[in-house]
Amino acid sequence: MGMTTSDTDPAATLDELAPEQRKVSVLHLEADGFEMPAVMSAARIIRDNALVLVLEVVGPDHHSNYLDQLRATFRI
């Protein structure tokens, strides 16, 4: 699997969990400060689907940073 949370605790990416032929219309992520790693773990899903992406971002200083990163990564 693509990601690990520690040396002994493997974690799957969202891309690995969703089959390529599965259509996704809404992706809602609440990742408690790890929003960008969570978004990046779903890069194929986001690129391949016209979807609504819902992120819970805490703190006004983080909003523009996340938007800038999303625009740069996904050319939106």
How do residues 1-28 score in pLDDT, each as one tens digit? 455 555 555 688 999 999 999 999 999 9
Across all residues in the chain, what is the average pLDDT?
Answer: 82
At residue 1, the pLDDT reads 47
Residue 73 clears pLDDT 50, i.e. is over it: yes
pTM of this structure:
0.72
Instruction: Copy the structure tokens of residue 1.
Output: 């699997």
| Residue 40 domain flag | yes
Which range of residues forms the domain containing residue 29? 25-76
* Dist CA 27 CA 25 (whole Å): 7
| Residue 73 domain flag | yes
Average pLDDT for 28-37: 85
Q: How far is CA 42 from CA 1, 57, 60, 61, in A?
A: 13, 17, 24, 24
Domain tally for the chain?
A: 1
Residue 41 clears pLDDT 60, i.e. is over it: yes
| Residue 72 domain flag | yes
